[in-house]
Amino acid sequence: MACGGAACAEGAQQLGCQRRKLQPRQHLFLQGDAQSHIYLVQSGAVCLYKLMRSGRRQIVGFKLPGEFIGLGHEERLRFCAQAMGPTELRCFALQPFLAAASGDPRFLLKLYESVSHDLSRAYELVLSVGQRDAGSSVAAFLLGLEARARAQREPTDLVALPMSRGDIADYLSISFETVSRVFTSFKKRGYIALLGRRGVRLIDRDSLRTIAMSEDSGMRRAAVS
């Protein structure tokens, strides 16, 4: 599974590291910056996104507690990192971190697995953006979010949405209006319940799973009724 907070934090402990707090919407770094650190999310959530010339943005991932930011490093950072809500991080200076990793196969294996999981999620995102219609994408997103949350916290049927409708839209490459329409449709069909703006309760997981897998949410059919 994802580089578990436990195992990774263990290796991380041995490196001196600083803590850092981010306010909602505050940026950790911008694309084009030189990379100075590798970060480990402790609480809250961070999104990685690419700002396009058109002014739009593509979020390529949300980082939740226990996950690393900045692993697939290149010369210059290719993405912006922004806190979704109040967020706490650990910061590791790049050079010592990589030096420590290079000499420790067990640690390196952890990083390798962490990047592998990022890759899996990236492929999953490709499938959503490329193959699924809007409803199907959102269903898959909600189920994935729940699975990740369940792995970290005690199982609750209440899924926290650290990000806004617009953030979800920028991740799935649909408009925020469409995200909203899908939420409404799912609510009307009894699949989910919305709790304020930042919470969802998944009621009918089977239907959501079916929709997520079928690549067809039946939005239009359900809408007429």
Partner DNA sequence: CGGGTTATTGAATGATATCAACTTACGTGG
Partner DNA sequence: CCACGTAAGTTGATATCATTCAATAACCCG
Name the residue nearer to a second copy (CB basis): 13 or 102. Answer: 102
Q: Which runs of consecutive H residues, i.e. helices, occur in the chain?
A: 5-13, 94-103, 105-131, 134-152, 165-172, 176-188, 205-214, 219-224
DSSP of 76-106, one letter per residue?
B--SEEEESSSEEEEEEEHHHHHHHHHH-HH
Select the binding partner of residue 9 from a second copy, DNA, none (C-beta < 5 to 8 A, by kind). none
130 binds a second copy (CB under 8 A): yes
198 binds DNA (CB under 7 A): yes
**Contact call for residues 111 and 101 (beta carbons, < 8 A):** yes
What residues between 65 and 104 interact with a second copy by CB under 8 A? 71-74, 78-79, 102-104
23 binds a second copy (CB under 8 A): no
Question: 18: closest CA among 84, 81, 88, 80?
Answer: 88
CB of 184 to DNA, least distance (A): 3
Query: How far apart are alpha carbons 87 and 64 in whole angstroms?
Result: 10
CB of 77 to a second copy, least distance (A): 12
What residues between 162 and 201 interact with a second copy by CB under 8 A? 173
CB of 169 to a second copy, least distance (A): 11
Name the residue nearer to DNA (CB basis): 17 or 159. Answer: 159
Query: How far apart are alpha carbons 103 and 105 in whole angstroms?
Result: 6
The residues binding DNA (CB under 7 A) are: 133-135, 164-166, 173-181, 183-184, 194, 196-198, 219-220
